[in-house]
Amino acid sequence: MPFREGPLGDLKVPLTWTAAVALIVAAVIAVAFLLADRRETLQEQAYGVTRQTVDTVAKPVSGAIAAPGRWTGLGLDYVRSYFFTASENRRLKAELAEMRQWRDRALALQDQNDRYKSLLGLRTDPPIPMASARVVSDSRGPFANTRLADAGSERGIAVGNPALNERGLVGRVVGVSRGASRILLLTDIASRTPVMIDRTNARAILTGDGGPNPKLEYLRGVDPIQQGDRVVTSGDGGVVPRGLPVGAAVKGLDGRWRVVLFADQAAIDYVRILLFKDFSQLANQKELEAKVLPPVTTEDPQSSILSTPPAAAPKPATPTPATPPAVAPPKPAPPAKPAASGAPR
């Protein structure tokens, strides 16, 4: 028997009030979600299974939707190259001639650089392996700037890996699932990247705000920056390697220094994800978090600093080599409390 024909058929529920209660309950759930969100921490655990599942499902769907656009772009490129072959050839020849000069210069500098490194005994960074991926979806709003790439944990990609296109740094991986990874762009409001001005080595933090040109914050030094200065990653904090190209400095309409990103000069359809292990991944977090303080016992200042040196013996007639005066050996310090094996290094 249908409900309306039963004894409760004439029961009038105050729908407006019930709807208001439903609205309040839904709002409370939304607030709880917002408070529980830890997206800005860029931690693997903060990404969550739901997001990973949605990314895994969205990858083939968005890939299929993006495919016609990609094919159209490839077709247009083909037509353009067919009709403009001669002018393209002239341009490429001129570029090649210029590049040959740069190649000779680069080889000379490489040789010089190798010699300096061997003279200084410098420990250089090891080469970083990378994985290529295609971008299948792209969010560009003021509150979220991310991209979904079609390579994930099966290719060794991990949270924190930097992503580049052929021009420069694009962002960092914030979530990884099987077959897909979410890249937080430099323009996202949660993005913070340590950078430096190539010309002056002045440090700053590149801060996204949802617009196309992220801000340079905490810029230090006297007159550290000029219009058009090249901005690269500084490697500070160990989250991204040093020296990755980021963009060029410009003064914004609001009077703040901003960066025109190199990565925006080309379509971000393919990205290279550097499988870079940052310092925090290399260090043993448990050892770093161990609360064992170093011993407070120090050597006795009376015997080390404040003690008077022994009376100098009368100088012999013969000249002696200029050696520092001998100092009485300090009293051995009391045995320090043995540090635990988990002491910070």
Partner 1 sequence: MKLGGARPLNPGRWLGVPMLMCMGATILFAAPLRVWGLQLPEPVFAMVPAFAWAMIRPSILAPFAILVLGLFLDIFWGGPTGLWGLSLLVAYAMVLILRNAMTGQSRPMMWAWFAGITGVAMVAAFLFTMLDSLAMPSLLAVFWQFLVTALLFPFAHRLVDRFEDADVRFR
* Contacting positions for partner 1 (CB under 8 A): 2, 4-5, 15-16, 18-20, 22-23, 25-27, 29-37, 39-40, 50-51, 54, 58, 61-62, 65-66, 69, 73, 135-144, 146-148, 174-175, 182, 184, 189-190, 207, 209-212, 267-269
What is the residue whose two structure tokens read 């100092």?
327
Residue nearer to partner 1 on the CB measure, 63 or 330: 63
Distances (CA, A) of 222 to 97, 120, 190, 336: 40, 30, 28, 45
- Residue at 24: amino acid letter: I
Q: Give the span between the Cα atoms of 40 and 237, in whole angstroms.
A: 17
Please enumerate in sequence order all residues whose Cβ is within 8 A of that of 294, keeping only pairs 6 or more positions apart, or say none: 339, 343, 344
Q: Give the span between the Cα atoms of 49 and 45, in whole angstroms.
A: 9
Provide, rounded to whole angstroms, the least separation between the CB of residue 133 and partner 1. 12
Q: Which residues of 57-90 are buried (b: 16+ CB within 10 A; e: fewer)?
A: ebbeebbeebeeeeeeeeeeeeeeeeeeeeeeee
- Rounded to 5 degrees, what are φ and ψ at 4? -65, -25
Q: Which residues is 272 bridged to in the sheet?
A: 132, 164
Query: How many other β-carbons are positioned within 10 Å of the β-carbon of residue 281?
Result: 13
Q: Give the span between the Cα atoms of 169 and 277, in whole angstroms.
A: 16
Residue nearer to partner 1 on the CB measure, 131 or 147: 147
Three-state DSSP state, 139: strand
